Amino acid sequence: MGAPINSLQLLTGDQPVILICLDFPKKARKTHSWLTPQVKKGARPCISNRWLASSLLWHKYQKAREGSSHKRNAQKELLEVISHRLHVDNSIEFIGKLLFGSKQGSEVLKTVRPAGQPLVDDWSCLKSMVRTFEAHCGSLSQYGMKHMRSLANICNAGISKEMMAEVSAEACISIPAGQWSSLQKGFSA
């Protein structure tokens, strides 16, 4: 039987963050501190919804019997999720550096507009940037939605779809195969 799950939604700026509170056994909390953040004594640990899937996969892997096919499958699944996330994060970061330079790339991508301004000036541009990224780099997936601000900032900086396609092709030499491919999942936007 799985761990009971409760969720709590917090508002941070303009983005809601769902915190999932898991009742992991105390042993798992001590052994795998990256799995659940440090919390005050007696409080339940909570994790962001972006980390829920990998946390549950890690728990599944840990619980599986050593040498079993369940353990091998859980390990494979966990490694695929981690690899996909690293690919998405690194690809967006590299695209930012290619477009805006190694010093300003990260800064431009993380820029937050003043309150009252929309995320992006041209919503069709944002949709186009998502599709262009996914055509060259694979699916953003639910996890990759955290990079919407970066893609919006690329639009707001006046980068054309053609330039984004060129840079994405340079940043992502291959599209990940399997369930994380945009060929399998379709486009996010």
pLDDT in tens, the chain (189 residues): 343 333 333 333 334 444 445 454 555 444 444 444 444 555 555 656 666 667 777 777 778 889 888 888 888 888 888 888 889 999 999 999 999 999 999 999 999 999 999 999 999 999 999 999 999 999 898 888 999 999 999 999 999 999 999 999 999 987 766 665 555 555 555
Amino acid, res. 28:
A
CATH number for the domain running over 85-185: 1.10.132.130
> For the chain, where do the domains classified as CATH 1.10.132.130 start and end?
85-185
- Encoding tokens for residue 148? 């919407």
CA dihedral 165→129→13→143, nearest 10 degrees, is -80
How is the beta sheet containing 46-48 ordered, strand by strand? 5-12, 15-22, 46-48
Q: Return the closest-CA partner of residue 130 out of 107, 94, 161.
A: 161
Bridge partners (DSSP) listed for residue 11: 16
Strand-pair category, 46-48 with 15-22: antiparallel
For 128-153, b/e burial (b = at least 16 CB within 10 A) is: bbbbbbbbbbbbbbebbbbbbbbbbb
The two counts, helices (H) then strands (E), for the chain are 9, 3
